């Protein structure tokens, strides 16, 4: 006899163990210390910035636009596996409580995100509204009610396979959520809030009516679950090897000119492999772009003087540390061991690539310092970055490559 409650407990327990297993590696690394320092720095400059904002600052509009994203983004963790499309499909009618429990877990996870998001913006709200933090709980309660409605709508939308339905649903819900939050943060009366609630209830009724004759889209749910797990595995892979990670490959033809400059020779065998992997495989290239962009923005907005140099070195460390998994990217490919080349060339090629990446990032981040108008600091940051890149690639990672 099929027991959906037992199945859900097994799936939830399995996923929890998988997450906790890799989270131990993530939170035991040096990167945690760096992230804490970055958060502390950001909090300090955030408080300093709050002292400068005027009373007429559009805090309600800014909070509504950003927090509406958290309300609209409502993923539902189903814990489904690839084989479920075959073995659980005949039991779809018996899985209602299974998916209710999944929605409850999804709600609790997203409540945490709402609390964090609202907590970040409340000091800004209090600064404009005479230090009033008492509105935090009413705001949170209103957002939780809307989160429930968004989750219900999101679940019903998943019965539709048309992409335009999903896009239109996200756009409409974001607009309704943003307007609702704007009125809430502006202190509007209840008559301004009820229409937004009514609109979401109408959407629930509309989707419920049109999904009655539709079956559950197992392929979509399984694909979404796999995508979420892949994202988590990719994060964990920055700290330890993840056997379950499926590498994604992107062509990126517009970057072929970088490979064309590398001559075909035995000494460049591993250089071809590592450069190709960096540009096309996994998320190495995207990680470099994101960290460089975020680092440049943080240097330009949050810091000044010696703080710019420190932030630049921190982001260079984050980049270098998170690119270390590239060293083992080909470790499970046996044909590489058949190459008639010396094993020492592998380490030389990897260090050469990593050093060039960090040198390039040093130049880009130093330009961000220069754009802010600090010529001397930009020169010092360039020298410090080049020295750090050399130290990181030739001394710091040596033990990690040999382990």
pLDDT of res. 196: 92
283 and 142 assigned to the same domain: no
Domain contains 236: no
192 and 259 assigned to the same domain: no
Domain contains 61: yes
pLDDT of res. 293: 86
63 and 162 assigned to the same domain: yes
Which stretches of 166-221 are assigned E, i.e. beta strand? none
The Cα–Cα gap between 48 and 391 comes to: 34
Which residues have a Cβ under 8 Å from the Cβ of 131 and sit 6 or more positions away? none
210 and 158 assigned to the same domain: yes
Low-confidence ranges of the chain (pLDDT < 50): none
210 and 260 assigned to the same domain: no
The Cα–Cα gap between 248 and 231 comes to: 11
> What is the domain extent for residue 373?
253-402
Domain contains 245: no
Residue with tokens 């429990």: 101
226 and 270 assigned to the same domain: no
169 and 295 assigned to the same domain: no
Domain boundary (200, 231, 262) is at: 231
74 and 131 assigned to the same domain: yes
226 and 274 assigned to the same domain: no
The Cα–Cα gap between 70 and 82 comes to: 28
The Cα–Cα gap between 403 and 401 comes to: 6
173 and 47 assigned to the same domain: yes
270 and 155 assigned to the same domain: no
pTM for this structure? 0.74
pLDDT of res. 276: 77
What is the length of the chain?
403
Q: List the one residue out of 296, 347, 287, 345 whose CA is nearest residue 321.
A: 287
259 and 352 assigned to the same domain: yes
Report the domain count for the chain. Answer: 2
210-251 pLDDT, tens digit per residue, is: 887 788 888 888 888 888 888 787 777 666 666 666 656 566
Domain contains 203: yes
pLDDT of res. 359: 92
Q: List the one residue out of 371, 250, 357, 264 whose CA is nearest residue 308.
A: 371
């Amino acid at each position: 006899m099929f027991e959906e409650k037992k199945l859900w407990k097994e799936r939830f327990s399995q996923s929890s163990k998988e997450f906790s297993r890799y989270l131990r590696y993530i939170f035991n690394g040096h990167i945690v210390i760096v992230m804490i320092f970055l958060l502390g720095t950001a909090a300090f400059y955030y408080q300093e910035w709050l002292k400068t904002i005027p009373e007429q600052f559009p805090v309600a509009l800014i909070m509504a636009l950003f927090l509406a994203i958290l309300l609209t983004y409502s993923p539902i963790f189903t814990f489904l596996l690839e084989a479920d499309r075959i073995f659980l499909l005949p039991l779809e009618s018996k899985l209602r409580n299974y998916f209710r429990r999944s929605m409850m877990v999804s709600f609790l996870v997203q409540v945490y995100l709402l609390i964090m998001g609202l907590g970040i913006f409340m000091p800004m709200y209090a600064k404009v509204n005479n230090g009033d933090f008492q509105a935090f709980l009413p705001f949170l309660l209103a957002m939780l009610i809307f989160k429930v409605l968004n989750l219900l709508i999101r679940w019903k939308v998943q019965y539709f396979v048309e992409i335009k339905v999903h896009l239109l649903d996200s756009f409409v819900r974001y607009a309704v959520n943003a307007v609702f939050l704007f009125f809430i943060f502006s202190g509007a009366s209840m008559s301004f809030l009820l229409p937004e609630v009514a609109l979401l209830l109408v959407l629930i009724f509309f989707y419920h009516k049109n999904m009655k004759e539709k079956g559950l889209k197992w392929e979509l749910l399984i694909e979404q679950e796999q995508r979420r797990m892949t994202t988590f595995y990719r994060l964990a892979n920055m700290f330890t090897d993840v056997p379950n990670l499926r590498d994604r490959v992107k062509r990126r033809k517009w970057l072929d000119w970088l490979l064309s400059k590398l001559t075909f020779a035995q000494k460049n065998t591993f250089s071809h492999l590592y450069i190709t992997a960096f540009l096309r495989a996994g998320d190495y290239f995207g990680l470099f772009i994101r960290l460089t962009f975020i680092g440049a923005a943080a240097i330009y907005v949050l810091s000044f003087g010696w703080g710019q140099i420190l932030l630049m070195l921190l982001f260079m460390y984050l980049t270098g540390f998170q690119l270390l998994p590239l060293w083992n990217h080909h470790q499970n490919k046996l044909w590489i061991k058949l190459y008639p080349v010396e094993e020492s060339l592998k380490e030389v090629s990897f260090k050469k690539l990593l050093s060039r990446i960090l040198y390039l990032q040093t130049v880009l981040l130093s330009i961000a310092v220069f754009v802010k108008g600090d010529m001397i600091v930009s020169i010092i940051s360039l020298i410090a970055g080049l020295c750090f890149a050399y130290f990181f690639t030739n001394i710091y990672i040596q033990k990690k490559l040999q382990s």
